[in-house]
Structure 1
Amino acid sequence: MKYQEYKELSDAMEQAAHKFYQLRYQMSNGGNLSMRAPGHDWMLVKATDVAFDEVCADTIVVTDFDGNLIEGNRKPSKEALLHGAIYRELPEVCAIMHCHSPYATAWADKHETLDFSTRHSEMKLGGNVPVFDTHSYAVPKEYFPMILEEFRKNKEMNAFLLRGHGQVTVAGTMREAAYLAELVEETAQISLLAGR
């Protein structure tokens, strides 16, 4: 990666992605994660068709918020446009994690919001984790306004589920975004085990 000042960011992405692959929160070459590049309307984002255990400086690209390539020789993730729209709308967000974790994905199949099964999840997940049905394996642009409006309505919101597609968390750092994703998965698992 030419932009050496982003090494700390790409290292954080690599660490989170590898952990999620080991946890089996994201298998195969789906899912994506990104981080805002300081000083520009740019982001570091996982390249498309790259598994989480393959994420490293060579499989991360730099794009603008419209998904146009700034640096790298691979195509960015198909979700780069959604990530860019979130970064543009929410300046406090500097990291986004999207994975197809099993319990969160299962929960989203038949529910409209994620129930809070623990006091910890209620406290950390902002009191609202909605489910969006975008009828696609990659969120189409026409659904961006609906998702962004939900963030505007609930300033504490930091996660949402996609029916048939997994979960998305947003935070100030990749570590925080990963912790939130782990909590979403745990919350969905407990809720399902409780028969909610």
Structure 2
Amino acid sequence: MTTTLDAYPQTVRDAVAQARTSVSALHAELPRWGLVVWTAGNVSQRVVVDPAAGPGPDDLLVIKPSGVTYDELTPESMVVCDLGANLVDGTRAPSSDTAAHAYVYTHMPEVGGVVHTHSTYATAWAARAEPVPCVLTMMADEFGGPIPIGPFALIGDDSIGRGIVETLRESRSPAVLMRNHGPFTIGKDAKAAVKAAVMVEEVARTVHISRQLGEPLPIEQQHVDSLYARYQNVYGQH
């Protein structure tokens, strides 16, 4: 396939190479934490150029190719797309979720990374179309409240992306459980989105187990707000 990446300046090509390396390495975290099976799931990252190196693109992302097993992934196999989900550089077709990722980047400019998995417990909540209630301090820290449910949407166009954006614009959560599908997470970069994917599965599992013992106790909103503010603004800063 003829590449059009050569049309971009060297600073952009360097940023793409860095993103390919990062995204390839982060994909290994998904099977490591038991979040995916076979070729399901994907990580993407917005291409960002160091401001000191000059102006960069606002229209490129790096994502996993479609139908490739995790042990076959390399930086070179990652594909580059624009925010219209069109292939810019790569030897394979991009993930079938690329349009959803691209829609998120287009409409949430603060987002630098997107992750999708079919992790078991989080997907089980999605199958029930039930938000995960905020009954753990870990949830208050990371998600700032319950993990919301997004609408049902079919794969193949930007419908999933629209559902993600509509849901997360009204929530502090970096994760949404798309109904009958599974979790999508966002972050300032791909690493942060992978962390959110790991955390959403952990709390979905823990709250499920808690419900087998009885009704979990919700955390008062004032305490949720306090925990979230501390974790996001103070924890790890000193």
TM-score between the two structures when normalised by the length of structure 2: 0.74
Structure 1: where are the runs of 5+ without partners? none
Alpha-carbon offset, residue 23 of structure 1: 2.5
Q: Identify the residue that residue 172 of structure 1 maps to in structure 2.
A: 188
Confirm or deny: 8 A CA contact 1:48 1:75 kept in the other structure. Answer: yes
Do structure 1's residue 14 and structure 2's residue 31 form an aligned pair?
no
Q: What percent of counterpart residues are identical?
A: 27
Describe the SS at the equivalent of 1:33.
Answer: strand
Q: How does 1:13-52 map to 2 (within 5 A)?
A: 13-38=23-48, 39-40=56-57, 41-52=59-70
Q: Identify the residue that residue 125 of structure 1 maps to in structure 2.
A: 143
Q: Identify the residue that residue 107 of structure 1 maps to in structure 2.
A: 125
Describe the SS at the equivalent of 1:114.
Answer: coil
C-alpha deviations, 1:97-151, integer Å up to 9, x for none?
1111111111222243122241121221132422234254x26434543432223
Alpha-carbon offset, residue 193 of structure 1: 0.4
Confirm or deny: 8 A CA contact 2:127 2:181 kept in the other structure. Answer: no
Q: Which has the greater radius of gyration?
A: 2
CA–CA separation in structure 1 for the residues paired with 2:191 and 2:185? 11
Higher share of residues assigned strand? 1
Letter paired with 2:29 = K
CA–CA separation in structure 2 for the residues paired with 1:169 and 1:143? 12
CA–CA separation in structure 2 for the residues paired with 1:189 and 1:19? 18
Greater Cα offset, 179-188 or 22-31: 22-31
Letter paired with 2:123 = T
**Across the two proteins, how many residue pairs are aligned to each other?**
194
Alpha-carbon offset, residue 6 of structure 1: 2.5
C-alpha deviations, 1:25-63, integer Å up to 9, x for none?
111011111000122211001111122333322221111
Describe the SS at the equivalent of 1:169.
Answer: strand
TM-score between the two structures when normalised by the length of structure 1: 0.88
